[in-house]
Amino acid sequence: EVQLVESGGGLVQPGRSLRLSCSTSGFTFGDYAMNWVRQAPGKGLEWVGFIRIKANGGTTEYAASVKGRFIISRDDSKSIAYLQMNSLKTEDTALYYCSYRTGQFDYWGQGTMVTVSS
Amino acid sequence: SYELTQPPSVSVSPGQTARITCSGDALPKKYAYWYQQKSGQGPVLVIYEDNKRPSGIPERFSGSSSGTMATLTISGAQVEDEGDYYCYSTDSNGIQRVFGGGTKLTVL
C-alpha cells in the first residue's frame, strides 16, 4: 500500500525557517518525481514545486511565489522528500501536501499545517 | 507566470449536466488534469490527460479539451458530487505547474 506522510509543520515566526518531510512507502521512491502543493485556509490549491528523479538530474522547479526561498530535496535511500522553507512570510501559512502521480495513479499525503505568525 | 482560469462557481440541479471550464494558453499542447476536493478532504484525481478517467471514478465524469479550453463534464450530477474542482496543467515549456483557481460545484 502506497503511503505518503508529511511532518514538520507547526507555528513559526516570520523570517524563520522550517523543514518539512514527506516519508513514503509502498513504491519505488527513486523512480518518481515528487511534488509539493499547498493550500492556504479557505483558499485553492497552489503548486509549490517538484524534484525530478536522479536519472533526470534530480533537478527542481518552483513556483514564482517561493523561488529563492524554498528548496526541495530528496533522499532516495530513505524514501523521503524534503521541503526546506526559508524566510517564511505570513502568506506561506497553509496546509502542505506532498504527492506523486504515475498515469492514473495519483497519491497525496494528508498534509502538514504550517502557520507563520508573530 | 502561467495561469489557468476557471469560473468561481457552477450550480446545477440533481440529474442535470454540470460543465466546468478551464482556460489556458498552453492547453492546446499540454494535458489538463482535474481534481475534486470535498470539504475537509484531500484532492482526488477525477480526470487525467484531458479525457481519461482513473479506475474507481464514476462514468458520469468526463473530460475534453479543445484549443485553449479544457472542460470537465459531470453528466447527471449527484448531490455527492458537490465540492471544489481544480484543473491542473503545465506551461508551454512543461516546467511550471499550475492549478486553476477552483470552481465550487453546487448540486441542489
In A, minimum Cα distance to B1 occurs at A64
- Enumerate the residues of chain A whose CB falls inside 8 A of the CB of residue B1: 63-64
To the nearest whole number, what is the mean pLDDT of chain B?
A: 97
Q: Is B19 helix (H, G, I), strand (E, B) or coil?
A: strand
Distance CA A1, CA A25 (A): 8
Span B88-95, mean pLDDT? 95
pLDDT of residue B60: 98
User: Taking the CB of residue A26, how many other CB atoms lie within 10 A of it?
Assistant: 11
Of B30, B90, B3, B70, nearest in space to A61 by CA: B90
What's the whole-number mean pLDDT along residues B7-27? 98
Return the number of CB contacts < 8 Å for A and B. Answer: 50
* A-chain residues near B48 (CB < 8 A): 101, 103-104, 106
Place of cell 505568525: A117
Per-residue model confidence as pLDDT tens digits over A18-77:
999 999 999 999 999 999 999 999 999 999 999 999 999 999 999 999 999 999 999 999
Q: What angle do CA B37, B43, B49 make, to 5 degrees?
A: 105
CA distance B53 to B62: 7
In whole angstroms, what is the distance from residue B76 CA to residue B93 CA?
37
- Quick one: pLDDT at residue A104? 87
Rounded to the nearest angstrom, the minimum Cα separation between B62 and chain A is 14
Q: What is the pLDDT of residues B63-74, one digit of tens each?
A: 999 999 999 999
pLDDT of residue A56: 95
pLDDT(A103) > 90: no
Of A37, A44, A63, the CB nearest to B101: A44
Contacts of B91 in chain A (CB under 8 A): none
CB atoms within 10 A of CB B57: 18
- The pLDDT value recorded for residue B69 is 98
Which DSSP string corresponds to B24-93?
-TTTTTS--EEEEE-TTS--EEEEBTTTB--TTS-TTEEEEEETTEEEEEETT--GGG-EEEEEEEE-TT
Residue numbers in B near A35 (CB within 8 A) = 97
Q: Which residue of B has its CA nearest to A39?
A: B42
